[in-house]
Structure 1
Amino acid sequence: LPDGSEILEFPITTTTLFGRRLAYCGGGYLRLFPTNWVARRIAVANRAGQPVIVYIHPRDIDPDQPRMSMSATRRFKSYVGLSTCISKLDTLLRRFPFGTLAEALAELEHSELPIYRLVRAADKWRLCRRDP
């Protein structure tokens, strides 16, 4: 991107659990948490008029992927819930209306989303949040 270009951010959907912000709708988070727990969080966000970003990586829906040698913690993070992710997505897609980011952007005011400007300083690129 050229210097001065801007990037519009769709923030990851979070909830508060035990006083801490926690992502729950994508990647390993979606694989880890029970479907009904995720669905309740989506329903709360929908009632509040907040868009919910659900994302996956191709590996999140491939229970037959090769298992690699790694620490127990990393193994848990990498492989938990692989066998149930497709059924979770299917349930959520049946239960809630979904659309594309382009459709969400058309419904939102640009001022509701953070915008970052790309600037070059001392031979490094940095993203600086632009004030609305």
Structure 2
Amino acid sequence: MNGLLQTALEAATAFLLLCGAVFCLLGGVGLVRFPDTVTRLQAAAKAQNLGLLLILIGAALRVPLPYAGLLLLIAVFQLTTVPVLGQIVGRIAYRTGAVERHTLTVDELAERLAPPDAPDAGEGDDGGGRGRGT
């Protein structure tokens, strides 16, 4: 029974490592092939993150328990830093004009980052004309 369990563990490890490597490869291909910054961020963040997590899980199955905890810590850092960095890079790309805005389906930053318009007619005016220095 021990030999069968060992074989199943090795097969699961191999499967996870290969799947992780495929996701990392596809993320790298997407990073090179996708046309703009936003889609490249998707490839870099999603596929690479999933690929690394699969590799870490596969490696955790084969190492002693204290090292598996270290691999878990690496996974937690990966899951917390990648979305934050993706958000920062995406916002910088948006503000510098590296994003083709007409290709976006939803543009939630357009209103937030739009230059302030001229004040409304009622703003700064209390209705008595005193707001304009009269």
What is the TM-score normalised by the length of structure 2?
0.27
Please state which structure has a larger fraction of its residues in helix. Answer: 2
Q: Give the greater-gyration-radius structure (CA).
A: 2
Ranked by relative contact order (alpha carbons within 8 Å, sequence separation 6 or more), the top structure is 1
What is the TM-score normalised by the length of structure 1?
0.27
Please state which structure has a larger fraction of its residues in strand. Answer: 1
